[in-house]
């Protein structure tokens, strides 16, 4: 996080960023042990993290990467997505979701998001399928699982692969099964803002040994060792293996994940208690414990405000509160406009993208921190002339 420490802190209260990783002392000691050990790149700690994540994901194969972005790109490649193909994805996500599709030479086909869940509108996926469609790439937005039944039924019916962008969803579940423990290719992110971190990093979850060997080649120079131990290169692989230093961070984080997510759920619940009734902002749909609340993202009442979103963010910052924006709708970004996409074709994503703000939510926060955020939000909106329900 590059938020300058305490620049806008009040005299009594520290600055509240919208996200902050919690690294405990035991993890810092474990990192120091790796640094002193003489083996700092991929080794025993990475193998252990892959194994523990595999246990977490019902015994499926897990491959660590330096980022979710790279893991998604490799997943598309392994799924056979090539130049000229189409991949169906959501118009409301971080740009990486669609960028990786472009990087394979394929074309992202966007489906609008649902307003209340921010997730891809699964009921519209089937009509987006053409003879060129190879895969569907849903995003579990903010940690709320997409309608997995519908997405996978469509995939089976049309013979498509599914690559789940589960960057937000470590610890979320669908009908009692963890995201990652079910499904096709599933990718998690361990960026510092995500529900657990390896500083930078990601993981790809998959089932098939043959595909896993292909992933290994993509991840490390295309190197294959034969039975005698001799090295050969059989593919123009890239280089995106996670270090043991990063894996040591991840092992300490994974141990705390359920606790972190329980706190996130409780903080999200406090936001609902504070914000639902007065209707000042439009909260996302409430959820049960299947949601892991990576981010809490209400929509501002821009049509009732005398200031824009950037001013809102600045005024919250002046009150010691960091506010993020997740995300501008992908089809409206310059790259995608230049490729011929039109934001107006995705009205829900357009509306979310223009009005969304991300309020502070991280495990070290307390319910009274949430109350403080909500007081500041009400004060700034009152200054801006916006009123809630009377």
Ligand X SMILES: *Cc1c(COP(=O)(O)O)cnc(C)c1O
Site residues (CB under 6 A) for ligand X? Answer: 67-69, 93-94, 96-97, 139, 165, 167-168, 189, 191, 202
Q: Which amino acids are annotated catalytic?
A: 194
Q: Are 241 and 46 in contact (CB under 8 A)?
A: yes
> Minimum Å distance from CB 95 to ligand X?
8
Q: Are 379 and 319 in contact (CB under 8 A)?
A: yes
Q: Tell me whether residue 53 or residue 68 sits nearer to ligand X (CB atom).
A: 68
Q: Tell me whether residue 174 or residue 327 sits nearer to ligand X (CB atom).
A: 327
- Helix or strand holding residue 223 (H, E): strand 223-225
Parallel/antiparallel/unpaired status of strands 185-189 and 161-165: parallel
> Minimum Å distance from CB 93 to ligand X?
5
> Minimum Å distance from CB 294 to ligand X?
8
Q: How far is CA 72 from CA 77, 108, 165, 264, 389, in A?
A: 9, 14, 7, 26, 43
Q: Tell me whether residue 199 or residue 302 sits nearer to ligand X (CB atom).
A: 199
> Minimum Å distance from CB 202 to ligand X?
4
Rounded Cα–Cα distance for residues 254 and 194 (Å)? 12
Within 10 Å of residue 210's Cβ, how many Cβ atoms? Answer: 8
Torsion of CA 389, 264, 68, 117, to 10 degrees: -30
Q: Positive or negative, the Cα torsion across 139, 202, 264, 353?
A: negative
> Minimum Å distance from CB 88 to ligand X?
16
Q: Are 97 and 90 in contact (CB under 8 A)?
A: yes
Q: Tell me whether residue 260 or residue 386 sits nearer to ligand X (CB atom).
A: 260
Q: Tell me whether residue 93 or residue 173 sits nearer to ligand X (CB atom).
A: 93
Rounded Cα–Cα distance for residues 41 and 97 (Å)? 28
> Minimum Å distance from CB 73 to ligand X?
10
Rounded Cα–Cα distance for residues 302 and 266 (Å)? 28
Rounded Cα–Cα distance for residues 139 and 142 (Å)? 9
Q: Tell me whether residue 74 or residue 96 sits nearer to ligand X (CB atom).
A: 96
């Amino acid at each position: 996080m590059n938020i300058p420490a305490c620049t806008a802190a009040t005299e009594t209260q520290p600055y509240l960023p919208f996200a902050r990783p919690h690294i405990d002392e035991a993890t810092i000691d474990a990192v120091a042990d790796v640094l002193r050990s003489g083996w700092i790149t991929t080794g025993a700690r990475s193998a252990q993290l892959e194994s523990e994540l595999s246990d977490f994901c019902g015994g499926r194969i897990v491959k660590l990467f330096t980022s979710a972005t790279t893991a998604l790109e490799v997943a598309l490649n392994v799924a056979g997505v090539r130049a000229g193909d189409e991949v169906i994805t959501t118009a409301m996500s971080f740009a990486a979701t669609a960028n990786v599709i472009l990087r394979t030479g394929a074309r992202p086909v966007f489906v609008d998001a649902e307003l209340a869940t921010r997730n891809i509108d699964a009921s519209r996926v089937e009509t987006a399928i053409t003879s060129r469609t190879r895969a569907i790439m849903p995003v579990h937005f903010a940690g709320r699982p997409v309608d997995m039944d519908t997405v996978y039924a469509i995939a089976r019916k049309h013979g498509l692969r599914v690559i789940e962008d589960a960057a937000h969803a470590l610890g979320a579940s669908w009908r009692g099964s963890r995201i990652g423990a079910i499904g096709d290719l599933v990718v998690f992110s361990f960026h510092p803002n995500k529900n657990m971190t390896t500083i930078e990093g990601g993981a790809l979850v998959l089932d098939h040994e043959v595909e896993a060997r292909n992933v290994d080649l993509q991840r490390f120079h295309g190197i294959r060792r034969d039975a005698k131990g001799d090295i050969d290169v059989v593919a123009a692989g890239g280089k995106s293996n996670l270090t043991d230093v990063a894996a040591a961070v991840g092992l300490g984080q994974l141990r705390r994940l359920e606790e972190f997510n329980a706190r996130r759920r409780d903080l999200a619940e406090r936001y609902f208690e504070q914000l639902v009734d007065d209707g000042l902002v439009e909260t996302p749909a409430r959820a049960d414990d299947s949601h892991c609340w990576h981010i809490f993202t209400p929509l501002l009442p821009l049509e009732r405000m005398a200031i824009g979103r950037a001013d809102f963010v600045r005024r919250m910052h002046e009150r010691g509160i960091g506010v993020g924006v997740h995300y501008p709708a992908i089809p409206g970004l310059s790259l995608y406009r230049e490729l011929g996409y039109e934001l107006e074709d995705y009205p829900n994503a357009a509306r979310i993208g223009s009005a969304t703000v991300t309020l502070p939510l991280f495990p070290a926060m307390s319910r009274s921190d949430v109350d403080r955020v909500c007081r500041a939000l009400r004060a700034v909106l009152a200054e801006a002339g916006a009123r809630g329900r009377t």
